[in-house]
């Protein structure tokens, strides 16, 4: 980015962490076990996209099968489980919800 462009950016965008390694994420406890939030989010994202790719591949095969075969032999498309499609981040302003989301978009 040019110097002029950097000066025009809002402070929040200018100094936003670019990756998860630049963030100080807290750890959490779940049933008395310490959890690394960054690692759990990373695992969730990787698993989600791996499953999504597999489902898309199955659906491509099913669509080609359905085009060839008659209506009685049609197969239903596979869908991703509804409990695996979202992460809900909550908290007061300034805790880094948007920064986490933006940095994970750069991972995928």
Element (H, E) at 7: helix 3-8
Report the C-alpha gap between 24 and 100 in whole angstroms: 11
Write the CA distances from 18 to 21, 26, 90, 96, 103, integer angstroms: 8, 18, 21, 12, 6
The 10s digit of each residue's pLDDT in 73-92 is: 777 777 777 766 667 777 88
Backbone angles phi, psi at 34, to 5 degrees: -75, 135
Whether the CB-CB separation of 13 and 21 falls below 8 Å is answered with: no
Contacts of 90 (CB under 8 A, 6+ apart): 97
Residue 61: pLDDT over 60: yes
Q: What is the pLDDT of residue 77?
A: 76
Report the C-alpha gap between 14 and 16 in whole angstroms: 6
pTM over cut 0.75: no
């Amino acid at each position: 980015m040019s110097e002029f462009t950097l000066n025009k950016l809002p402070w929040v965008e200018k100094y936003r962490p670019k990756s998860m390694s630049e963030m100080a994420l807290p750890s959490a406890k779940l049933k008395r076990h310490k959890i690394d939030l960054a690692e759990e989010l990373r695992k969730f994202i990787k698993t989600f996209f791996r499953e999504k790719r597999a489902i898309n591949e199955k659906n491509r095969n099913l669509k080609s099968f359905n085009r060839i075969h008659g209506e009685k032999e049609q197969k239903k498309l596979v869908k991703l489980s509804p409990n695996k499609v979202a992460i809900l981040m909550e908290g007061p302003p300034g805790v880094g919800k948007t920064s986490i989301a933006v940095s994970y978009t750069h991972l995928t």
